[in-house]
Structure 1
Amino acid sequence: MIPDDDPSRSLTVANPDAPGTTYVSLVGNTYALLVTSAQTNGRYCLIDMRVPDGGGPPPHRHDFEEMFTVLEGEIEFTFRGEKHTVGAGSTINIPANAPHNFRNISGAPARMLCMCTPAGQDEYFLRVGDVVAGKDAPQPRLSQDELAERRRRAVELAPVYRSEFL
């Protein structure tokens, strides 16, 4: 049986250019948190990812599903050790627990939407990255000590957010 409507939840309209959008700088990428864990009662989150040429995370895995739709550019996904090139307009789903990473191989900036279900990745990015003013804001200039602190924090918090670096 379907439960009754929950009137405490409201419609969410997400636009990366809307005032109030939170942007996070992380490993050279800029992520706009479009739909957050708080807005979906933890069901999923949606992140607009802007990835510079050559950018992307190190190999990792997590116990949640992650789906990417490439909007601009070309992304090389490594999934269980096998490389897959995905261009604009394509969607790729990474099953929970599978080792993977991605890298922008476009020769120019790339952009993708990333949905994680259940949610939590948005909160992890906020705790590990740096909030910036907008999608085109320059990356923060971090000292070697600050970079080391970000890496330490990412590794320390990964298990809290059901993730593991490989």
Structure 2
Amino acid sequence: MTDGLLAADGLLLPPGAGDRVQQTMTLKVGAEHSDIWSAFEATVPPGFDVGAHWHGHAEEIFYIVEGELDLLAFHPVTEPVGDWTTWEAQDGTTVFRGGPGSFMHVPAGCPHAFHNPGNATATMLFLVTPAGHEKYLAELGELLRSGEATPERVDELRLRHDIHQLTPLQNRPHTH
């Protein structure tokens, strides 16, 4: 206790627990428990490409637990269009293929993306600050289930949640 107030209890979850907010995303902690973070366990199927995008206010952390992902977290030298896996930063940085234990921090305003180039599902811990990214994922899921998910409506939803898409979300062929 501090100044007569009871400190908040933490949250303990066994493996596999949490709220499934999409087929591939399990919310571990979100705005209901924290003003600062939303944390997810995410599975990334082979070929999935989230598309390059940026956030004006959010910061993100990606930690690969299992599998491999191609990772991007830099401003490209050229106009950010086309295949983001070919982009290069001013200092020569290129897309990084990360395996278990690989880490990516994305500051606000930084273009970023991930893609599973392999033939096995990858698993990652995904953290977003401020909390609340689960609200976007829930709204996107509802929109997709409604059958009214036109590109324009998805773009409107993304912009309302500070997601500025540079290249499309897509499924790519496996590269290895």
- Tell me the TM-score range normalised by the shorter chain: 0.7 to 0.9
**Map of 1:24 onto structure 2:** 21
**Map of 2:131 onto structure 1:** 119
TM-score, length basis structure 1: 0.75
- Paired residue secondary structure (1:149): coil
Structure 2 portions without partners, runs of 5+: 76-86, 88-93, 167-176
The number of residue pairs the alignment matches comes to 145
Could you say which structure has the greater relative contact order, defined with CA pairs below 8 angstroms and 6 or more residues apart?
2
TM-fit CA distance, 1:101:
0.9
Of 107, 130, 135, 2:119 maps to 107
Whose Rg is larger? 2
Structure 1 portions without partners, runs of 5+: 131-139
Given that 1:15 and 1:34 are in contact with CA atoms closer than 8 Å, whether structure 2 keeps it comes out as: no
Cα root mean square deviation, aligned: 2.5
TM-fit CA distance, 1:55:
0.8
Q: Which letter does structure 1 place at the counterpart of 2:8?
A: R
List aligned pairs for 1:29-44, cutoff 5 A. 30-40=24-34, 42-44=35-37
TM-score, length basis structure 2: 0.72
Structure 1 residues 6 and 107: CA distance shift in structure 2, 3 A: farther
Aligned-residue sequence identity (percent) comes to 28
- Paired residue secondary structure (1:154): helix
**Map of 1:48 onto structure 2:** 41
Given that 2:21 and 2:134 are in contact with CA atoms closer than 8 Å, whether structure 1 keeps it comes out as: no
**Map of 2:171 onto structure 1:** none
Provide the rounded CA distance (Å) in 2 between the counterparts of 1:96 and 1:4: 36
